[in-house]
Structure 1
Amino acid sequence: MRIKPLVSLLAAAFAAPAVLASASGVVISQVYGGGGNANATYSRDFIELFNAGTTPVTIGGWSVQYASAAGTSWTNKTVIPAGVVLQPGRYYLIAEASGGAAGVALPTPDIDVTSGAINMSGASGKVALVTNGTTLPAVAAPTGVEDILSYGSSTPVEGSPTPALAATTAALRNAAGCTDTNANSADFTVGPVSPRNGATPANLCGGGNVNQPIIPSCPDQAAVSGAASSFVVSATDSDSRVNAASVVGALPAGVTLGSFVGASADGVAATQQINVDNTLAAGNYNLGLKWDNDEAQTASCTFKLSVSGVVKIPAIQGSGAKSGMDGTTVTTGGVVTKLINNGFYLQDPDGDGDPATSDGIFVFTSTAPTVAVGDKVNVSAKVQEYSVSSSAASQANPLTELSSVTNVTVVSTGNPLPLPVEVSLASLASQSDMERYEGMLVHITDPLTVNQTNFVGSWGQLTVSAGGRTLNPTNVLRPGPAALAMQAANLARSVVLDDSSATKFPNPTPYLWQDGTVRAGDTVDGVTGVVDFGPSTDSATGPLAYKIHPTAAPVFARPIARPLAPPAVGGNVRVASSNVLNFFTTFTNGSAVPGGGACPSAGCRGADNQAEFDRQRTKILAALSGLNADVVGLMEIQNSGNFAVQNLVDGLNAMMGVNTYAAVPLPPSTGTDAIRVAMIYKPAKLGLMGASMSDDNAINNRPTYAQGFVAPNGEKFAVVVNHLKSKGSCGTGANGDTGDLQGCWNLQRKQQAQRLLDWLPTVTATAGTDRVIMLGDFNSYAKEDPIDLLTSAGIVDLVSMFDPADYSYVFDASAGRLDHGLGTAAIAAKVTGATSWHINADEPEWIDYNTEDKAAGNDWYQPNQFRASDHDPMLIGLNLVKTVYGTNGNDTLVGTDGDDVFEGGLGRDTMTGKGGKNQFVYRTGSDGLDTVTDFKPGQDTLVFTELLKSVHITSADPLATGHVTCTNQADGALIGYDPDGSAGAATSRPMVKLKAVLCSAVNAASFKF
């Protein structure tokens, strides 16, 4: 034994004497019962033992037992494993139960009790050290124990108890464990928690020196047959240096000693590496080592090496959602079918013949894999169930993969890939049916339709489905079991095409056509790839979907062309709504357009800078000019008076002509939200009727906005623009997400819908008409409660009259209508068409005006109307004409400056249309010989529909067949009809003379047949 330095000897000379009431010298040195409690220092309760004597004590088979403060039951106990020897001056830490999640982990305990752990009181209790494992008698103050501690208000046993403990204090035996007078209150001090374990430096009581032994650490090890591996064992001596390790007996063939690293100082671990090559057969092997130090001491250890054999992939996967081998290290093999940037897919080429078990698996390498597609490899790794998101669904259905890879051996290269398994999504009963193909190479046999493109730029993902597009269930069904069943069916027939980059904002963006887009509604006939599982959106709690990593680039078709022009809705007045995607003239970087004012960056929601603003404005102007509506309700425009609105008006007038559009005057209130609703209109087409109105009732966070209009012919109507509470950022109670697919804030939207009904009389009174259109973003799908409330009260869903399958928004890969055109019964009778212009919802978000995250050469923005917003604009046609009726005599009929319909009837009538687009209706051959004094070819029309039916003329082109005739006369063109056309002998019967018009100006566009 080496002589200790002088300072150590002096310290030992003044060390506290050991007053050994314990017969063996082993005592309870520290107790802590606050583990895991609120504000706890440590996360576990513990009992600490200490050998205050001068000789080693075998404490294996001893026990620590606990009773409550006044309790008599000692059944809460921990028995120390056999063979444990506690050296003099050494501590032994026993980790017990936890009262919660607070506190940090203990230093490595010498025994970690995970089953039947003692849950001690954090304030008062009794702990006994017993020299056997027998439960103490049921008494409050037992005798015959090796040591006992009472703390807090406990029954006294060894003198008075210590003071009560807390979450941050423990009972610590004085002199670092050396004091034992059989009086707890004198022997212990309550102070900060300070757990000590077997690795803590020795504290020899009484000043003596003991030659400490070598302590080996040789835990059992595991390896996998066919995979080379290595591991390290160690030994320490607190007062010496371990300097050698040698084999006890013989090592099995395939196991060798590797490098040895001796201790660099007293108490520092020496390590011995042991190598296992890939020839070692499966089985259990006992290994032994002898350790030496520089004081001629030795110590030995034995441990078990368990070698497992190759496990086939189907056995790893199993037939359930989770592998029964989770956490197990295995060796498996197969053919590499697909590489991604942080791993590869491996498939057993033979499989097990069981359709319920997958033959493929993902191998997570964390970095780019070094294997190639077609390589046959053996992999040694740990089976892991990886939850791809924080959602409950993900936790219940994790992805089985191999991680913590220790070895990849390439057996051969250039192997053929396993034949893809054919899968029909349309035939799957539920989404979980895809679990059996997880990690496998499959071929989806169904024609697939693109449902969602939002994440093609951000994550390289497209959602597709079999059986056509998926519709939002509550757009076609009332919320309830049927809608939930439809959602499940949607998920079952959908998959996500993943570009395999596992990279945000992949460059180049995958799946785009040469025209710079891929649209919802595009199709692809079958896809081949490997099956993965993960989020279908960029939300950690959003819906999950099975994914396909294509092994060949999908080839898309576009059965529905990009709509360059809005759909025809008829009528002589067109009303539209358009979401302008947070159009702000102040930017998030603090700057603004000239005169645009300023707002704090948190209040600016649109463009970040002038460049983005210019791009955004160009797209919005293209969309609004394309709509070419007479009234447009705007949503998501900056609440800055009419400044942002006027900016758009100025842009439209620069494109379409001076004074084409004007902003409807500001209403009394626009609310306090950063965005508002607004309106623009064509002053040459419509006049304002009454003052602008707004409903700033507290339920409307964005006040509803209304204005009456009048056409030149005197026809009146009113428009109410709405933007109801969104579905995000949940409230509480009935405004939380109740799981019925209506999302958050449904109650408030219902209250807003009711308020709209209550406010309608104000609108009709101010506008002077009961013809009212209610449009905008209701944030409710067509069958949800707010819309149902309105339609149940007699409000008409105008869009459903013409296009029940219409949609304006795509969310979670399902299309639905959040943007509505509703109306009173009086206006519904005047509607000629209503639908959405699909220029936004089907397009990728990636092609919008934003510039961030778009690398050079990967910016697909175009200065057109597509993806001007995330909502599609909606268009309604109105037939607001003045009907001018004649009598059975010869009438002189004069129209208005607007659009008129003339029903002259019998007699020779003289009709003057004046302004607008006029229609002259003829129903029978008896409708006299009339004169139109100011017929405008290309603008006015002769309506012969009923006339031709009455005389049985069915020609598709009556002008070409001579069934409708035109003869030039001195004062104009004479129009008539010939029952048998130019091929017959009958003569034409004159119907109407068009004054000052030549037949050369009359064509099929001048008629309605």
Structure 2
Amino acid sequence: MPSRSTARLAALTVAAVCSAASAVVLTSPAHADAVRIHDIQGTTRLSPYAGQKVTDVPGIVTATRTYGSSKGFWLQDTTPDDNPATSEGIFVYTSSTPKVAVGDSVTVTGTVSEYVPGGVASGEQSVTEITKPTITTVSTGNAVPAPVVIDAKSVPGRYTPQGDTANGGSINNLPLQPKKYALDYYESLEGMNVQVKNAHVVTGTDPYAELWVTVKPYEHHDSRGGTVYGSYDSQNTGRLQVQSLGATADFPKANVGDTLTGTTTGPMDFNQYGGYTLVAGQIGTLKSGGLQRETTKKQTGKQLAVATYNVENLDPSDKTFDQHAAAIVHNLQSPDIVSLEEIQDNNGATDDGTVDASVTVNKLIDAIVAAGGPKYDWRSIDPVNDKDGGEPGGNIRQVFLFNPERVSFVDRAGGDSTTAVGVVKEHGKAQLTASPGRIDPASAAWEDSRKPLVGQFVFQGKTVFVIANHLISKGGDQSLTAQYQPVTRSSETQRHAQAQEVNAFVKDILKAQKNANVLALGDMNDFEFSGTAKILEGDGELWSAIKSLPKSERYTYDYEGNSQVLDQILISPAVRRDSFQYDSVHINSEFNDQISDHDPQVLRFRP
């Protein structure tokens, strides 16, 4: 899943302002008397009182939110019913700083609303709220209801029910089964005071003062403390986002494998940036797990080492060049060929028509030399301005770095931003019509997306074809916690078309030379088990080499508590027959001080 939009607001949660774009419109009676919170919450995700005015709803204030656009407080009933499906807590949206305090006993009169974080079009679940409130304080200084402890025993092993086909696949109207499904369990606690103990961190702290923990540390775990996302049908149910209800400056800077010892307590919220979230008024003490950045093995003299590395919108104004250089030299052991993704043009996001990236690339090469690495040479093709997606004005593209002391590049004129590279057969061997070249840049598959860069290399007399990719992102896909189950992955349509283009090009190479050494690598923006990977692999033309690793080691990216694969190196049969070595080098994705959100991948083999 890709990275969050850079346009995201710094507020920790989305605004809870009910509007035509964000509220579920329901028809119901205009007024209801003598109801309690569990009546409002009901036994499904939608309140039976949505759209109604409710009067004198009692409860204790458990927490207040005084920052951002979603100001208000959480209210919890001290007289619960005996139905585990009905939550006893609710958020009261005040729009301005609430005038109540934790421990106040109050009654609230207002209108029940179903607010959809991110808007109805996002497909997210809704949050049941009381809006336009009139608040009466009954007493102050009361004890807050004891938190519900969320642990491995309480969270079911199944993730979510199948959506109601008669309702477009939505789970909104299905009766909650909190003992059967994890998402139903979390929904049954919406707005309530909850707690996790000695929680294991599975996604490090991000720039928005958020992290992810799991209450099931042995659920699909890897040796470094994360939870691996291994298939669409094997969700990690113990994941929970943690935000701070207080000052973000005090939020712990955690890495994967760390632990929030003691108790982390606060109301259960829901937002479009991860779904169910514990908004902590009390955060456990951070205990380091001692996670260290990995270093791969050095290639032997007869091995060709090829790497792919997404350097995350790198441009000359960034402060990370020395760190990226150190990573390439020391952690990756100076691969012979490095495919870089997200190299921006010379003035970064300034949208003035600049497409040349020579300053960016040469600054990185100079930093690599300063770090003790080789003097890399490089090849790339500048894109047409603002036609390859990414950050507006950035003109991201793929770039080949190569060590000329170890490998040579076959330069063949004719490659440019709009000309399609082809394959010809010369003296019984496959050759590119242009090197470097781009795969069918006029195809609709590449609209507003990066076009694959193809290059022909020679290592110790053997030709190797390398296809550098950055397929379209997962932006627009529904979240794992969406109201529609199974979720819709709309971005796959274009990505599958792109995968077909790449596979067809590989077929052309193998048709000309059955035993050709071909690598298709880069940020594929999809999992090794995905339909995209299957299309890339085709009928055996390619194979994703990360599948040579144990399942517990297959990840390149950490998103919402899931360690998952986005970056891949796919290899042709000739490469697969060799005694290759594959390494996902974990230097970024698990750390709060990452210099990129992707882990680089390295393949070593003997052509």
Whether TM exceeds 0.5 here: the answer is yes
Distance 1:723 1:569, change over 3 A: same
Partner of 2:181: 429
CA distance in 2 between partners of 1:689 and 1:568 (Å): 27
**Pairing 1:433-582 to 2, within 5 Å after superposition:** 433-444=185-196, 447-451=199-203, 453=205, 456-458=206-208, 460-468=209-217, 476-477=230-231, 483=232, 485-486=233-234, 489-490=235-236, 492-500=237-245, 507-508=248-249, 510-512=251-253, 518-524=254-260, 527-537=263-273, 545-559=275-289, 561-563=291-293, 565-568=294-297, 571-572=300-301, 573=303, 574-582=305-313
Q: Which amino acid aligns with 1:686?
A: V
CA contact (8 A) 2:229 2:562 kept: no
Instruction: Say which SS state the counterpart of residue 443 (structure 1) adopts.
Output: strand
* 1:519-543 deviations in Å (ceiling 9; x for gaps): 3454446754344342242xxxxxx
CA contact (8 A) 1:421 1:442 kept: yes
Partner of 2:543: 796
Residue 811 of structure 1: CA displacement? 4.3
Residue 632 of structure 1: CA displacement? 1.2
**1:751 aligned to 2:507?**
no
Distance 1:318 1:748, change over 3 A: closer
CA distance in 1 between partners of 2:544 and 2:398 (Å): 21
Partner of 2:175: none
CA distance in 2 between partners of 1:694 and 1:762 (Å): 19
Q: Which amino acid aligns with 2:557?
A: Y
**Pairing 1:862-941 to 2, within 5 Å after superposition:** 866-867=594-595, 869-878=596-605
Residue 575 of structure 1: CA displacement? 1.9
Partner of 1:727: 473
CA contact (8 A) 2:59 2:75 kept: yes
Partner of 2:586: 838
* 1:771-814 deviations in Å (ceiling 9; x for gaps): 33332222332122342234332423222213444222234553
**Which stretches in structure 2 are left out of the alignment for 5+ residues?**
1-19, 21-26, 158-179, 346-354, 389-394, 413-434, 478-485
Distance 1:438 1:666, change over 3 A: closer
Q: Which amino acid aligns with 1:748?
A: A
Residue 651 of structure 1: CA displacement? 2.3
Partner of 1:149: none
Q: Which amino acid aligns with 2:278?
A: I
Partner of 1:374: 103
Distance 1:831 1:438, change over 3 A: same
**Which stretches in structure 1 are left out of the alignment for 5+ residues?**
1-100, 102-113, 115-220, 223-307, 478-482, 513-517, 538-543, 586-612, 732-736, 848-865, 881-1009
CA contact (8 A) 1:706 1:763 kept: no
* 1:294-325 deviations in Å (ceiling 9; x for gaps): xxxxxxxxxxxxxx976433333333323333
Instruction: Say which SS state the counterpart of residue 425 (structure 1) adopts.
Output: coil
Residue 764 of structure 1: CA displacement? 6.4
Residue 473 of structure 1: CA displacement? 12
**1:405 aligned to 2:154?**
no
Instruction: Say which SS state the counterpart of residue 656 (structure 1) adopts.
Output: coil
Q: Which amino acid aligns with 2:275?
A: A
* 1:487-529 deviations in Å (ceiling 9; x for gaps): xx44x4332212136xxxx7426231xxxxx234544467543
Residue 392 of structure 1: CA displacement? 5.8
Distance 1:510 1:696, change over 3 A: same
Instruction: Say which SS state the counterpart of residue 336 (structure 1) adopts.
Output: strand
**Pairing 1:778-793 to 2, within 5 Å after superposition:** 778-791=524-537, 792-793=539-540
Residue 446 of structure 1: CA displacement? 8.2
CA distance in 2 between partners of 1:447 and 1:507 (Å): 19
Distance 1:683 1:357, change over 3 A: same
CA distance in 2 between partners of 1:391 and 1:452 (Å): 29
Partner of 1:645: 361
Distance 1:575 1:419, change over 3 A: same
Distance 1:750 1:775, change over 3 A: closer
Residue 546 of structure 1: CA displacement? 1.7
CA contact (8 A) 2:557 2:566 kept: yes
Instruction: Say which SS state the counterpart of residue 623 (structure 1) adopts.
Output: helix
Instruction: Say which SS state the counterpart of residue 876 (structure 1) adopts.
Output: strand
Instruction: Say which SS state the counterpart of residue 773 (structure 1) adopts.
Output: strand
CA contact (8 A) 2:203 2:559 kept: no
Distance 1:803 1:742, change over 3 A: farther
Partner of 1:684: 405
* 1:660-709 deviations in Å (ceiling 9; x for gaps): 22214557x86664333222222333344675442442346524221323
Distance 1:576 1:810, change over 3 A: same
CA distance in 2 between partners of 1:739 and 1:407 (Å): 41
Residue 763 of structure 1: CA displacement? 9.2
Partner of 2:375: 661
Instruction: Say which SS state the counterpart of residue 38 (structure 2) adopts.
Output: helix
Partner of 2:338: 632
Partner of 1:620: 324
| Greater C-alpha radius of gyration | 1
Residue 361 of structure 1: CA displacement? 2.2
Residue 726 of structure 1: CA displacement? 0.4
Q: Which amino acid aligns with 1:640?
A: D
CA distance in 2 between partners of 1:313 and 1:362 (Å): 10
Q: Which amino acid aligns with 2:367?
A: G
Distance 1:738 1:416, change over 3 A: closer
Instruction: Say which SS state the counterpart of residue 508 (structure 1) adopts.
Output: helix
Residue 553 of structure 1: CA displacement? 0.9
Q: Which amino acid aligns with 1:827?
A: V
Q: Which amino acid aligns with 2:437?
A: S
CA distance in 2 between partners of 1:429 and 1:494 (Å): 13
Instruction: Say which SS state the counterpart of residue 284 (structure 2) adopts.
Output: coil
Residue 369 of structure 1: CA displacement? 2.7
Partner of 1:362: 91
Distance 1:758 1:671, change over 3 A: farther
Distance 1:533 1:665, change over 3 A: closer
CA contact (8 A) 1:388 1:535 kept: yes
Partner of 1:324: 48
Give the structure-1-normalised TM-score: 0.43
CA contact (8 A) 1:764 1:772 kept: no
Q: How many residues in Structure 1 have an aligned counterpart in Structure 2?
A: 486
* 1:924-972 deviations in Å (ceiling 9; x for gaps): xxxxxxxxxxxxxxxxxxxxxxxxxxxxxxxxxxxxxxxxxxxxxxxxx
Residue 576 of structure 1: CA displacement? 1.2
CA distance in 2 between partners of 1:470 and 1:802 (Å): 15
Compute the RMSD of aligned alpha carbons: 3.9
CA contact (8 A) 2:309 2:338 kept: yes
**1:706 aligned to 2:421?**
no
Instruction: Say which SS state the counterpart of residue 249 (structure 2) adopts.
Output: coil
Residue 331 of structure 1: CA displacement? 0.8
Q: Which amino acid aligns with 2:252?
A: Y
Partner of 1:773: 519
Instruction: Say which SS state the counterpart of residue 213 (structure 2) adopts.
Output: strand
CA distance in 2 between partners of 1:575 and 1:822 (Å): 12
Partner of 1:825: 573
Distance 1:536 1:730, change over 3 A: closer
**1:694 aligned to 2:437?**
yes
CA contact (8 A) 1:642 1:663 kept: no
Residue 550 of structure 1: CA displacement? 2.1
Partner of 2:37: 313
Distance 1:671 1:718, change over 3 A: farther
Whose RCO is larger (CA < 8 A, sep 6+)? 2
Distance 1:756 1:521, change over 3 A: farther
Instruction: Say which SS state the counterpart of residue 100 (structure 2) adopts.
Output: coil
